[in-house]
């Protein structure tokens, strides 16, 4: 299949499954092909397969028009905080992904939720490859779009791709956390970068009754799309809409170390016959645990007896190690918090509530900056972030 045929098939599939419904967005997606914004060399599939349009054009095109993210930048192996413009396959599935082209259905859902209309001004956080920037510019016009990218070489490549395709929105090298005051106010803020907390600058730079649409999540791999209505008083409120993967927004002063089993000796051992790992890996239960149990991270852990997990709190002071032990599972925990006990209590509550799916939850941000996640209604059961 040619690039044009693959592009057409992708768009028609998104229309058929109900992902794309807005007529103007359908026209936009038909007019802006994804492959024009993916580098011919140096990118990776989400599974770590290297892509090269010169040596294997068929694989390159097939990956681009599959409904998956394309990784375009990762942390340099062994050098936390240093970014490499050339991804490496061994890092593709690690925490180190710092830039990617989001899966087509994710961008379609993001833009559908944004309820775009002629005359609006949009702030995009995370230019990345420039594909979403081009979609916004086609839909609203170049002058209506301000896009922010923290990496200068990523912004430069996106500008070049946009120019080649005939688009000239404003692309600035800037920290998206602070928004972009010179072009404010905006009617919409759309971000492909995932958040834990809504940056105050975004709310300050929105017009009253504006929208923020972005990935949100407290746990890697258990994110959702959030559509937040912002009345203009510094508050925001809205629901979650299905699962999504994302590259986290880089927050000033916050450096997240990779999750690693530190080899501590446990304070407590226990054996269980039920699989304790499954609730941490299944999306609905993992999302609920991320909301109900504060400040924890998880990573798969491989040992001689099989595949388990390592869980720790933000400081690494409290932790849980889980692994197969004969026909049972061994759970070891240590530190001042009993994280596994908190998991068990949260799973019990989740079951009592009917095992609610993530789209029954939502987020409220108060004018004083307080964040809380709620179930079914802003006035319902809620948990502070």
**Annotated active-site positions, please?**
102
Distance between CA atoms of 200 and 181, rounded to whole angstroms? 12
**What letter would DSSP give residue 18?**
T
Of the candidates 332, 319, 223, 221, the residue with the CA atom closest to the CA atom of residue 276: 332
> Do residues 306 and 334 lie in contact, with contact meaning Cβ atoms separated by under 8 Å?
no
Distances (CA, A) of 28 to 10, 116, 125, 327: 13, 12, 20, 55
> Do residues 186 and 205 lie in contact, with contact meaning Cβ atoms separated by under 8 Å?
yes
Given its phi and psi angles, is residue 85 left (phi above 0), alpha (psi -120 to 50 degrees) or beta? alpha
ω into 185 cis (within 30 of 0): yes
Of the candidates 209, 158, 150, 155, the residue with the CA atom closest to the CA atom of residue 174: 150
Distance between CA atoms of 336 and 324, rounded to whole angstroms? 25
Distance from first CA to last CA of the chain, Å, rounded? 47
**What letter would DSSP give residue 33?**
-
Distance between CA atoms of 240 and 113, rounded to whole angstroms? 11
Of the candidates 105, 128, 135, the residue with the CA atom closest to the CA atom of residue 17: 105
Neighbour count for residue 349 (Cβ, 10 Å): 12
DSSP string computed for 191-203: ESEEBSS--HHHH
Of the candidates 101, 35, 96, the residue with the CA atom closest to the CA atom of residue 68: 101
């Amino acid at each position: 299949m040619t690039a044009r045929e693959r592009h057409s098939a992708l768009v028609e599939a998104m229309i058929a499954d109900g992902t794309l419904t807005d007529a103007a967005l359908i026209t936009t997606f038909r007019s802006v092909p994804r492959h024009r914004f993916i580098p011919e060399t140096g990118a990776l599939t989400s599974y770590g397969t290297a892509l090269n349009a010169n040596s294997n054009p068929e694989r390159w095109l097939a990956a681009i028009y599959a409904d998956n993210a394309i990784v375009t930048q990762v942390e340099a192996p062994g050098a936390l905080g240093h970014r490499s413009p050339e991804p490496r396959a061994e890092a593709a599935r690690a925490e180190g992904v710092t830039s990617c082209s989001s899966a087509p259905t994710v961008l379609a859902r993001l833009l559908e939720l944004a309820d775009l209309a002629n005359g609006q001004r949009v702030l995009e956080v995370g230019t990345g490859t420039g594909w979403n920037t081009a979609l916004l510019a086609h839909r609203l016009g170049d002058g209506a779009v301000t896009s922010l990218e923290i990496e200068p070489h990523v912004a430069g490549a996106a500008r070049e791709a946009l120019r080649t395709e005939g688009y000239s929105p404003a692309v600035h090298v800037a920290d998206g956390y602070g928004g972009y005051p010179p072009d404010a106010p905006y009617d919409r803020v759309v971000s492909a970068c995932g958040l834990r907390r809504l940056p105050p600058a975004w709310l300050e730079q929105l017009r009253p009754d504006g929208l923020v649409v972005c990935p949100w999540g407290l746990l890697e791999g258990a994110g959702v799309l959030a559509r937040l209505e912002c009345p203009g008083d510094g508050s925001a409120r809205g629901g979650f809409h299905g699962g999504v993967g994302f590259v986290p927004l880089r927050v000033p002063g916050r450096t997240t170390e990779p999750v690693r089993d530190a080899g501590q000796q446990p304070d407590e051992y226990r054996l269980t016959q039920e699989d304790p790992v499954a609730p941490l890996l299944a999306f609905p239960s993992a999302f609920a645990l991320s909301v109900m149990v504060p400040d924890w991270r998880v990573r798969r852990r491989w040992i001689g007896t099989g595949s388990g997990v390592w869980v720790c709190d933000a400081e690494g002071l409290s932790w849980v190690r889980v692994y197969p032990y004969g026909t049972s599972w061994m759970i070891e925990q240590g530190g001042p918090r009993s994280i596994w006990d908190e998991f068990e209590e949260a799973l019990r509550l989740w079951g009592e509530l009917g095992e609610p799916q993530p789209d029954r939850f939502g987020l409220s941000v108060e004018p004083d900056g307080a964040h809380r996640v709620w179930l079914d209604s802003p006035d319902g059961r809620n948990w502070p972030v």
